[in-house]
């Protein structure tokens, strides 16, 4: 619920700086009433004309590609504000959605974060890191208290050693 958000007209240079300073991989774009409009992620900033990271489209795509899609890609790679580069169609959940349900949505949709909205307003965001932290806390709660990283790693390796599929992959 401790959210880092940006307004639609925020420049992408400020978006990138904010993401780097706050150590987040994405920022929700909200209006003045905190309605979710979209999300700008690291992936949305990877292919930019101004950084020289723009892939050259194939001649085939330029000749036969969907003009609307090519225009969207151009706007995204040359856009100057959060609203130019943000993803607009976002999968959201409500506050009562369980962690297991959120993890399933992330897996099926191949997404890294899910905004939590209530009455149309952004109230939180759950990332894959949040799910992993929850799993770690569940594991720690089963014992008498927090465990050292080395002990957790030893347990993970021991469990992997018992799995036939993992024997050639990790050990």
**pLDDT, tens digit, 9 for 90 and up, residues 73-82:** 766 767 789 9
**pLDDT, tens digit, 9 for 90 and up, residues 31-74:** 999 999 999 999 888 877 676 666 666 666 666 667 676 667 76
Contacts of 90 (CB under 8 A, 6+ apart): 36, 38, 39, 115
Rounded to whole angstroms, the Cα distance separating 108 from 5 reads 26
pLDDT of residue 140: 62
pLDDT of residue 136: 79
Residue 138 CB: number of other CB atoms within 10 A? 10
pLDDT of residue 166: 65
DSSP string for 60-85: HHHHHS-HHHHHHHHHHHH--BHHHH
Query: What DSSP character marks residue 108?
Result: H
Q: For the whole model, what pTM was predicted?
A: 0.69
Alpha helix ranges (H) inside the chain = 12-22, 42-46, 59-64, 67-78, 82-85, 99-109, 128-142, 149-161
């Amino acid at each position: 619920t401790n959210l880092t958000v940006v307004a639609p007209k925020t420049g992408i240079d400020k978006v990138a700086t904010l993401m780097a300073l706050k150590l987040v991989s994405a920022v929700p774009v909200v209006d003045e009433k905190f309605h979710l409009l979209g999300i700008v992620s690291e992936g949305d900033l990877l292919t930019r004309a101004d950084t020289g990271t723009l892939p050259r489209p194939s001649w085939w795509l330029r000749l036969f590609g969907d003009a609307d899609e090519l225009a969207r890609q151009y706007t995204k790679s040359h856009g100057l504000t959060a609203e130019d580069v943000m993803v607009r169609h976002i999968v959201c959940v409500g506050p009562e959605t369980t962690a297991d349900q959120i993890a399933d949505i992330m897996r099926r949709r191949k997404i890294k974060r899910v905004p939590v909205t209530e009455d149309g307003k952004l109230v939180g965001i759950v990332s894959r890191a949040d799910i992993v932290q929850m799993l770690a806390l569940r594991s720690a709660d089963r014992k008498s208290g927090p465990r050292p990283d080395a002990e957790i790693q030893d347990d993970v390796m021991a469990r992997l050693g018992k799995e036939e599929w993992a024997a050639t992959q990790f050990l």
